[in-house]
Amino acid sequence: MARQHGQGARGPSQRQLRVGELVRKEVSDILTRGELADPDLDGVIVTVPEVRMTPDLRLASCLIMPLGGGDGPKVEKALNRSAKYLRGLVARRLTMKYTPDLRFVLDTRFDDDDRIGSLLHSPDVARDLDHEDEAAEDRGED
């Protein structure tokens, strides 16, 4: 099976990471300076923790998080509505052959971590772990 450049078991290439960080910084600056006028974004502080680039550098998936528990789906929809305008602003700031299309995705990694943590500490999982420990002791394992 042929491996595509920049993908595989090792993850994104250095070039993907570098371009992703450049795009992340510019999108963050644009949002911080309030250069995007949208009523759904009024009073909402949006952070961009990560930008993931496709191997051909044509699409940038921007992970976003509204601070203070803002309405995430509403903010995501507003940013995707303004993606072409934001792309134009980023294009003026970066010197690249092609400016990637921007796609905004709500960053749920912290919510997922909390959900997994609460699942691991739930009584059902604790009960299952106790049963596994007892079974291991019965087999003479440590």
Which range, 54-58, 72-76, 95-99, has the best average confidence (pLDDT)? 54-58
Q: Of 30 and 110, which is predicted with more confidence?
A: 30
Residue carrying structure tokens 């990637």: 100
Shared domain for 23 and 56, answered yes or no, is yes
The number of residues making up the chain comes to 142
CB burial string 93-104: b at 16+ within 10 A, e below:
eeeeeebbebeb
Q: What is the CATH number of the domain that holds 85?
A: 3.30.300.20
Residue 112 belongs to what domain range?
Answer: 108-142
Shared domain for 56 and 91, answered yes or no, is yes
Q: Of 90 and 139, which is predicted with more confidence?
A: 90
Mean pLDDT of the chain: 81
| Residue percentage of the chain with pLDDT more than 70 | 70
Q: In the chain, what's the furthest Cα-to-Cα distance?
A: 68
Q: What is the mean pLDDT of residues 96-107?
A: 92
> In angstroms, what CA-CA distances link 74 with 31, 32, 79, 86, 87?
16, 18, 9, 17, 20
Report whether 34 contacts 69 (CB < 8 A): no
Is the pLDDT at 6 greater than 60? The verdict is no
Shared domain for 133 and 80, answered yes or no, is no
Q: How confident is the model at residue 108 (pLDDT cuts 50, 70, 90)?
A: confident
Look up residue 93 and give its amino acid: R
Shared domain for 8 and 76, answered yes or no, is yes
Q: Of 91 and 109, which is predicted with more confidence?
A: 91
